[in-house]
């Protein structure tokens, strides 16, 4: 580690999230691609990462985190993505809904709704912001669904309701997926009559649960790059229902007061 290098500003630490997440794999590859010697990618969680970000910003200290859009932190803080000339984080990503094989036959109402489910990062942001302001995820989702009745009605129009059949979804406690999973649970239960179990797990089990049929679906599949490893491994054992959100993004993020613009600058 070199004295007076940019790395010393950050103690050569990149504050990451849960180790199984795709962004941590992309960042490990970025460290290699950009030849960032001596840097540490700190494992933790989405919540620990945003707590470290908040603490650094309060003291106006340098910090670099694994970040993604949509995320409420871009509304709360003045942040910027570091340019990624080597495309370690790919281009525009999408969040897909993937379902276990056989869901269409077993639960046609849920399947049809999930195929129609598609929304924007701004719409998701309303739920994330409400949760950040102290509302519970269940209530924030319910309030969103009632405030956007026309949009929800499009998703469920003409779909037969059911009488309490069970469904299981899986998600990881990323702020974006906490929002989407609670909204899907609310609509499936209150509008279509299902009894939904929402399993909060790590990224690996989120995918394996759907692939082995224990879980009916997840709406937290980041493709084509972020979850490429999971997709390559399990795509033949599950059904991709397509994107529920497009134009999402992952990368390295710093507060605007940090005077560097590119991942390459971390090597100076
Ligand atoms: C943190 S992103 C929501 C998804 C991922 O990195 O696996």
- Could you write out the DSSP letters of every residue in 3-42? TTSHHHHTTTEEE---TTSHHHHHHHHHHHHTT-TT-EEE
Does residue 63 sit in the same domain as residue 163? no
CA pair distance 141, 190, nearest whole angstrom = 11
One domain, residues 215 and 256: no
- Residue 198 inside a domain? The answer is yes
Measured CA distances, 191 to 95, 113, 126, 195 (Å): 23, 11, 20, 11
Ligand 1 pocket test: which of 73, 95, 231, 250 has the largest number of ligand atoms within 8 Å of its C-beta? 250
Q: Please give the pLDDT value at position 219.
A: 98
Same domain for 131 and 107? yes
Q: In testing the pocket of ligand 1, which one of 43, 68, 124 has its CB within 8 Å of the most ligand atoms? A: 68
DSSP assignment letter at 161: P
Q: Are residues 196 and 83 in the same domain?
A: no
Q: Are residues 127 and 25 in the same domain?
A: no
What DSSP line would sit under 35-64, residue for residue?
T-TT-EEE---HHHHHHHHHHHHHTT----
Asked whether residue 29 is assigned to any structural domain, the reply reads yes
Q: Is 141 in the same domain as 233? A: yes
Q: pLDDT tens-digit profile of 232-268?
A: 999 999 999 999 999 999 999 999 999 999 999 999 9
Place 96 in a pLDDT band, splitting at 50, 70 and 90. Answer: very high
Residue 3 has pLDDT above 80, yes or no: no
Main-chain phi, psi angles of 218, to 5 degrees = -135, 145
Closest C-alpha residue for ligand 1 atom 3: 174
Which residues sit opposite 81 in a β-bridge? 253
Residues 104, 225 within the same domain: yes
197 and 116 fall within a common domain: yes
**Residue 130's domain is classified under what CATH number?**
3.10.105.10
Whether 1 is covered by a domain: the verdict is no
Together in a domain, 130 and 119? yes
Q: What's residue 57's pLDDT?
A: 98
Name all residues whose Cβ lies below 6 A of ligand 1.
17, 21-23, 68, 174, 176, 203, 222, 226-227, 250
Token pair listed for 119: 């929304």
CA-proximal residue: ligand 1, atom 1 (nearest)? 23
Q: Both 54 and 171 in a single domain?
A: no
Is 2 a residue whose pLDDT tops 80?
Answer: no
Query: pLDDT for 194-230, tens place per residue?
Result: 999 999 999 999 999 999 999 999 999 999 999 999 9
Domain residues for the domain of 261 are 6-91+250-267
* Residue 65: CATH number of its domain: 3.40.190.100
Q: What is the mean pLDDT of residues 90-105?
A: 96
- Ligand 1 atom with the shortest distance to the CA of 46: 1
Instruction: Tell me the average pLDDT of the chain.
Output: 97
pLDDT tier at 4, thresholds 50, 70, 90: confident
Domains identified in the chain, total number: 2
Give the predicted TM-score (pTM) of the model: 0.96
Residues 26 and 48 in one domain: yes
Tell me: the pLDDT tens digits for 30-66? 999 999 999 999 999 999 999 999 999 999 999 999 9
Q: In which band, very low, low, confident or very high, does the pLDDT at 176 lie, cut at 50, 70 and 90?
A: very high
Question: Cα separation of 6 and 12, whole Å?
Answer: 8
Ligand 1 pocket mutation pick from 17, 174, 176 by most atoms within 8 angstroms of CB: 174
Atom of ligand 1 nearest to the CA of 24: 6
State pLDDT tens for residues 139-174. Answer: 999 999 999 999 999 999 999 999 999 999 999 999
pLDDT for the residue 24: 98
Q: Indicate whether 178 and 261 sit together in one domain.
A: no
């Amino acid at each position: 580690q070199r004295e007076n290098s940019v790395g010393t500003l950050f103690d050569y630490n990149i504050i990451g999230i849960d180790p199984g997440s795709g962004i941590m794999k992309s960042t490990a590859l970025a460290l290699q691609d950009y030849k960032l010697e001596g840097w540490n990618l700190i494992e933790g969680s989405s919540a620990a990462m945003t707590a470290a970000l908040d603490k650094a910003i309060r003291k106006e200290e340098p910090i670099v985190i694994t970040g993604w859009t949509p995320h409420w932190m871009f509304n709360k803080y003045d942040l910027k993505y570091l340019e990624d000339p080597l495309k370690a984080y790919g281009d525009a990503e999408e969040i897909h809904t993937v379902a276990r094989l056989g869901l269409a036959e077993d639960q046609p109402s849920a399947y049809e709704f999930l195929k129609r489910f598609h929304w924007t990062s701004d719409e998701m942001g309303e739920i994330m912001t409400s949760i950040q302001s102290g509302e519970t995820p269940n209530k924030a989702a319910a309030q969103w669904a009632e405030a956007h009745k026309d949009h929800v009605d499009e998703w469920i129009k003409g779909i037969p309701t059911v009488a309490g059949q069970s469904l299981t979804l899986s998600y990881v406690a990323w702020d974006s997926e906490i929002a989407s999973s609670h909204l899907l649970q609310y609509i499936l239960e209150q509008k279509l009559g299902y009894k939904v179990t929402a399993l909060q797990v790590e990224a690996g089990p989120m995918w394996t649960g759907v692939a082995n049929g224990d879980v009916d679906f997840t709406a937290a599949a980041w493709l084509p790059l972020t979850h490429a490893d999971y997709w390559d491994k399990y795509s033949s054992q599950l059904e991709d229902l397509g994107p529920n959100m497009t134009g999402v993004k992952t990368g390295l993020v710093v507060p605007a007061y940090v005077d560097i613009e590119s991942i390459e600058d971390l090597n100076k």
